[in-house]
């Protein structure tokens, strides 16, 4: 628990050679290798609004510029704006049907009474209107004098004065891209190849059509005929594609007045920040009274695919409201997790005893083997692993890690499940077979081992050590396929991982020893 949040202390080597923490790695069950974010391909599964969970296809989201039309963010603090309703009064005259029992008698008095009744008879019916407000910074659309809307979701996007120029440039570069593509296609399909492929006489047409080859060749010639006659990039455009007007460069910039900040009329509180201006990059308002509600950006759910075997290692549910995964192959679920439990005050001349904890995250029993770097070199079996060890020892490591291992280096780890009486008996059996010098503590799926760290020199400032773990993994295809007589479990094999541990600087105080180890 001492290094619970220090995830950067223990790192595992990926198949590409980089070292990452276990929680940032994936494990491909097809090629049986560790993968980092650089070893996987991202694929967008769905795009949705994080506020209202509106789900759109990719082409629809691109049409909307990846923004929601119903939800808005506060331009000041970027929190979600809340729609609030209020009542407003709308004056409406009432037609009064007044009759007088005395006929036309006293007509002047009657006219005066009617006119006064009309003035006093105006009723004010309530009309519901809506406006946007932020519950965090108390900003609202009324602060910028934006009119309240009679219906929900009727706020329009702010007009962009540069939209016409942007569309003009977009169309211009689309035409350039089209002409460049046609130029490449012209070089690919030359006129000589096209003439040799097309038949010229009836006899040649009938002979070539004997094997049914005439139709596809003719279609290819029709397709490429327009390509060969298309204008080149260097040719002058026709009347339908006029030359775009170039932008006017600014040669001189008006200097800033030095007395601007010294005047009493200047108010810094009315200026927008750089973040607020970049959030509205089309307008870039200078003062806060020109801030406009920001349409909510779409977010996406992404699948991650292994680059080596082209299989998924992470596949979320397509619904934006679900947080489950169809496939979730995080390395944390397949590889034992290692943490630092204890290290003493460092000594540059003597071996420093340290304690590491190992947790089995699998739902099945695992047999773990530990190796030092020198033991792997003595085996001289895996040349690739030895080369990686030599590079690590030469350029990165500043200490030598040793383990008090006897002849039997296997350590049995209990599955990561809720223990029962049978598991308690099995845990006691494992405890009796453990090496007392190596395993100091055991409780079901968690154990604590002892190791020794010796610094390479007295000038070392940061202590880095490494060792090798080996455990059994089961591939995904061995679970699906039916076992055969010759090979009952073809994908099951033992894999080895290089563990790099950062024990911290040499002047770091000793970590408190766990109560169960004291």
Query: Token digits for 454?
Result: 């010796």
CA nearest neighbour of 311 among 475, 509, 120, 110: 475
* Contact call for residues 427 and 415 (beta carbons, < 8 A): no
pLDDT tens readout for residues 163-173: 888 888 888 89
| Secondary structure (3-state) at 8 | coil
Q: What is the DSSP letter of 255?
A: P
Half-sphere exposure of 482 toward its Cβ, with a 13 Å CA cutoff? 2
CB neighbourhood size of 294 (10 A):
19
| Residues forming a β-bridge with 355 | 342, 450
Contacts of 388 (CB under 8 A, 6+ apart): 13, 17, 498
* CA–CA distance, 456 with 346 (Å, rounded to integer): 13
* CA–CA distance, 247 with 442 (Å, rounded to integer): 73
What's residue 491's pLDDT? 72
What's residue 3's pLDDT? 54
Query: Token digits for 110?
Result: 């009657």
Q: Which residues of the chain have pLDDT under 50?
A: 1-2, 93-120, 201-211, 213-214, 226-240, 478-483, 485-489
pTM: predicted TM-score of the whole model, two decimal places? 0.70
Task: Give me Rg for the CA atoms of the chain.
Answer: 38
CA nearest neighbour of 365 among 441, 419, 432, 416: 416
356, 368, 417, 445 from 362: Cα distances, Å: 19, 12, 8, 9
What's residue 103's pLDDT? 44
Per-residue burial over 377-386, b if 16 or more Cβ lie within 10 Å, else e, is: eeeeeeeebe
What's residue 485's pLDDT? 47
What's residue 150's pLDDT? 87
The β-bridge relationship of strands 26-28 and 19-20 is unpaired
* Contact call for residues 516 and 31 (beta carbons, < 8 A): no
Dihedral sign for Cα atoms in the order 21, 353, 431, 378:
positive
What's residue 123's pLDDT? 56
What's residue 339's pLDDT? 92
């Amino acid at each position: 628990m001492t290094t619970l949040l220090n995830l950067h202390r223990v790192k595992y080597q990926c198949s590409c050679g980089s070292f990452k923490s276990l929680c940032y790695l994936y494990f491909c069950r097809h090629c049986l290798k560790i993968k980092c974010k650089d070893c996987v391909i991202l694929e967008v599964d769905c795009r949705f609004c994080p506020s209202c969970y509106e789900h759109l296809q990719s082409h629809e989201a691109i049409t909307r510029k990846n923004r929601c039309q119903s939800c808005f963010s506060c331009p000041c603090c970027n929190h979600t704006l809340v729609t609030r309703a209020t009542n407003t009064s709308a004056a409406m005259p009432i037609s009064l049907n007044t009759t007088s029992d005395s006929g036309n008698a006293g007509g002047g008095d009657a006219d005066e009474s009617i006119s006064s009744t009309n003035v006093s008879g105006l009723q004010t019916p309530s009309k519901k209107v809506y406006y946007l407000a932020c519950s965090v910074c108390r900003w609202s659309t009324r602060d910028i004098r934006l009119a309240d809307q009679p219906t929900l979701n009727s706020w329009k996007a702010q007009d962009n004065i540069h939209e016409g120029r942007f569309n003009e440039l977009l169309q211009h570069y689309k035409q350039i891209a089209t002409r460049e593509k046609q130029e490449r296609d012209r070089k690919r399909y030359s006129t000589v190849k096209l003439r040799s492929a097309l038949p010229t006489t009836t006899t040649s047409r009938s002979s070539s059509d004997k094997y049914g080859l005439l139709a596809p060749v003719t279609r290819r010639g029709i397709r490429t005929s327009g390509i060969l006659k298309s204008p080149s990039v260097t040719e002058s455009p026709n009347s339908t594609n006029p030359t775009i007007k170039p932008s006017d460069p600014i040669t001189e910039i008006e200097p800033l007045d030095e007395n601007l900040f010294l005047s009493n009329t200047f108010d810094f509180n009315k200026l927008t920040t750089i973040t607020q201006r970049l959030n509205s990059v089309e307008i870039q308002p200078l003062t806060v009274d020109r801030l406009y509600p920001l349409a909510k950006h779409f977010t996406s759910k992404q699948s991650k695919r292994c680059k080596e075997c082209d299989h998924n290692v992470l596949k979320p549910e397509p619904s934006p409201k679900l947080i489950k995964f169809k496939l979730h192959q995080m390395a944390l679920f397949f590889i034992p997790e290692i943490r630092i439990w204890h290290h003493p005050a460092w000594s540059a001349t003597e071996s420093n005893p340290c304690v590491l904890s190992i947790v089995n995250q699998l739902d099945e029993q695992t047999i773990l083997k530990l190796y030092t770097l020198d033991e792997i070199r003595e085996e001289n079996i895996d040349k690739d692993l030895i080369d990686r060890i030599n590079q690590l020892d030469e350029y990165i490591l500043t200490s030598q890690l040793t383990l008090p291992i006897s002849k039997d280096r296997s350590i049995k780890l209990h599955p990561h499940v809720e223990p029962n009486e049978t598991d308690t008996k099995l845990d006691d059996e494992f405890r009796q077979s453990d090496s007392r010098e190596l395993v100091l503590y055991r409780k079901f799926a968690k154990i604590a081992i002892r190791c020794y760290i010796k610094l390479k020199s007295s000038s070392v400032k940061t202590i880095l050590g490494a060792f090798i773990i080996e455990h059994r993994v089961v591939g995904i295809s061995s679970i699906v396929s039916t076992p055969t007589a010759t090979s009952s479990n073809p994908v099951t094999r033992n894999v080895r991982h290089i563990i790099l541990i950062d024990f911290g600087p040499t002047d770091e105080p000793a970590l408190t020893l766990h109560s169960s180890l004291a």
